[in-house]
Structure 1
Amino acid sequence: MWRELIGELYPEAEPAPPADEAVLAAVERALSLPLPFELASLLRETDGVRNEYGDEVVWPARRLIEDNLAMRDEPDYAELYAPFDEMIFFGDSDMGPQFAYVHTDYGPGIVVWDHETDRRRLAVVSLRDYLVRCFTQGNGWHR
């Protein structure tokens, strides 16, 4: 399903091999949060997604662990930003914003996080909508 969608949105895409199940389990253990179903499903088909500029719009599973733990453990971030413990960052764009799943009263949503202001704004409610926007609207995340 995900490979087909990515191929429709970006025919030149070269999907990565699937993520290893042990690595997906390690993500959940390391972050103490369950992977959202749709993100886990995508990673089981392709371990990360790059756009035409090489940006990792969906990070590989190992990067999920590394980057999320680095953000949570950075002492300076604790002073500058609200906590990241309830977020799973999973992608970025060339202009700086990063994207994360957050759990809301209505289920998981995807927020765009601005590192300059610490603003966290609901961007889309599904990974499918996120990918469509990444590949069809370019860098429209700053609005």
Structure 2
Amino acid sequence: MFATPPPCGLARAGGSNGLAISHRPSGTIHPHRPLPISNTTANSPCRTPSKLRIMWRQAATAAFPGVGFREPAQASDLVVAETRLRRTLPAELRQLLLESNGVIGPTHVDTVWPVDQICERNLLFWSDQTFAQLYMTFDALFFFGDNGGGDQFAFVQKPERPDIFVWEHESDSRRWVANNLQDYLGRSLRAGDDWYQL
């Protein structure tokens, strides 16, 4: 069973749920583009609004200056992967891969796998009959990285959500560890390989 992430309870300046609003003299409320995040929430690990473009290399380097990058993935490679997987890559992951085809963290751990590895690992987890006998189904998970010791990190796609969960291979537990991909990078790159352990 999946653990439920803690509530965030924060809102963007000028509105709620990421939507900024303005009042015109007529009294009508008009939505407009989101306002900058206020200082009280700028450093919050809460979910990043989907309309806010993240510079992934910059975000990763801020968390760990020694982070390793690869050449950007080609858009055509992502299309091939999605065709093989019969699923759409999570939007944040797609953006990151187009900046760097994987992220290498402390102790040379693949914090984010290259697209080829993402494709191969997920096909294995979803279809391997041995896994099916040993573990609960992985159909709801979309794996993209690991800790170097067997535990894997994944988006939940059924239902689709931005949160990151860890699958612990020794216990087959699946639990929440980060609000989104940016939060995951910050947490995993700043600490050691066991950063997610309770």
**Is the shorter-chain TM-score for this pair beyond 0.5, marking a shared fold?**
yes
Q: How does 1:90-129 map to 2 (within 5 A)?
A: 90-103=144-157, 105=159, 107-129=161-183
Deviations 1:59-112 (A, max 9, x none): 000001111112222211011112222221000003331001113557232110
What RMSD over aligned residues (CA atoms) do the two structures have, in Å? Answer: 1.6
More helix by share: 1
Q: Tell me the equivalent position of 1:75.
A: 129
Worse-matched range after superposition: 83-92 or 41-50: 83-92
Total equivalences in the alignment: 143
User: Which entry has the higher C-alpha Rg, 1 or 2?
Assistant: 2
Tell me, yes or no, if structure 1 residue 23 matches structure 2 residue 87.
Answer: no
Tell me, yes or no, if structure 1 residue 4 matches structure 2 residue 51.
Answer: no
Worse-matched range after superposition: 53-62 or 14-23: 14-23
| 3-state SS, counterpart of residue 65 of structure 2 | coil
Q: Which runs of 5+ in 1 are unaligned?
A: none
What TM-score does the superposition give when structure 1 sets the normalisation length? 0.91
Q: Tell me the equivalent position of 1:142.
A: 197
| 3-state SS, counterpart of residue 108 of structure 2 | coil
Q: Which amino acid aligns with 1:74?
A: D
| CA distance in 1: counterparts of 2:183 and 2:114, whole angstroms | 19
Q: Which amino acid aligns with 1:107?
A: R
| CA distance in 2: counterparts of 1:96 and 1:77, whole angstroms | 14
Q: Aligned-pair distance for 1:11?
A: 1.5
Q: Which runs of 5+ in 2 are unaligned?
A: 1-54
Partners of 1:48 and 1:60 within 8 A in 2: yes
Identity of aligned residues (%): 37
